[in-house]
Amino acid sequence: MAGTRYRPNLHVVGSPMAWIGPNGYADRILGAGLRPSPFQMRLQPSDPRERMHGAALIWPSRPSIAPTAPPRTAGYSTLTKELEGTGQQAHHLNQNAVYRDIIPENEGLSVGLRGNAFTEVGSPHYNAHRSLEGFWNQFRRGGARFGQTPTNAEYGAALEASLRAGGLSPADAATVAAQAAQQRAAYGLAPTAPVPRIPGRINQTPPPPP
């Protein structure tokens, strides 16, 4: 093979033979044309059958990456205290203006979102509420479904979409929305039942014109 020389005394761990190129590292393993970088191999004393000048080539292990935990959720009053001074605000998952007659405000499950929901245009908290406003507008006067009331399940789907709009990953949004659904169920709110009330507009600061 041009440009290489065969050294039968070199063995890559787990391999009967390897080709060594002019730079002294493996050109081919088992004749398969694989070319590991010299920076991906390290030398370590090993069995005499796997030695090259007193060392053996082994593949470094790939570092494990721990999965990230979903965002913390807690009751509104608890989370509000925890978030003081962080720039985040506690965001009711089961919107207080909708569920306050059934789920007490301070116990309403919440997640932390950065920014002011009313005035900080483009912040995660603002964007989450803006998304929900789009959902509610269809049930308000002039909307396509005016006179109808959405179900708790429909609200749950709108909540999940609003959390994605607020910057949560699709997986985290689904996890957090499922927790909100569990709280609704704990208070006797069936998925197919209508939401307790349709909230009024929150009159957010409008975004600047494009």
Q: Distance between CA 139 and CA 120 in Å, rounded?
A: 25
pLDDT interval class at 70 (50, 70, 90): confident
DSSP single-letter state for residue 151: B
Domain parsing of the chain, residue ranges? 73-187
Q: Tens of pLDDT along 153-180?
A: 999 999 999 999 999 999 999 999 999 9
CA distances from 126 to 61, 76, 79, 91, 152 (A): 44, 17, 18, 10, 22
Q: Tens of pLDDT along 42-68?
A: 444 444 444 444 444 454 566 666 667
Does residue 86 register a pLDDT over 70?
yes
141: left (phi over 0), alpha (psi -120 to 50) or beta: beta
Q: Which pTM value belongs to this model?
A: 0.69
Does residue 186 register a pLDDT over 70?
yes
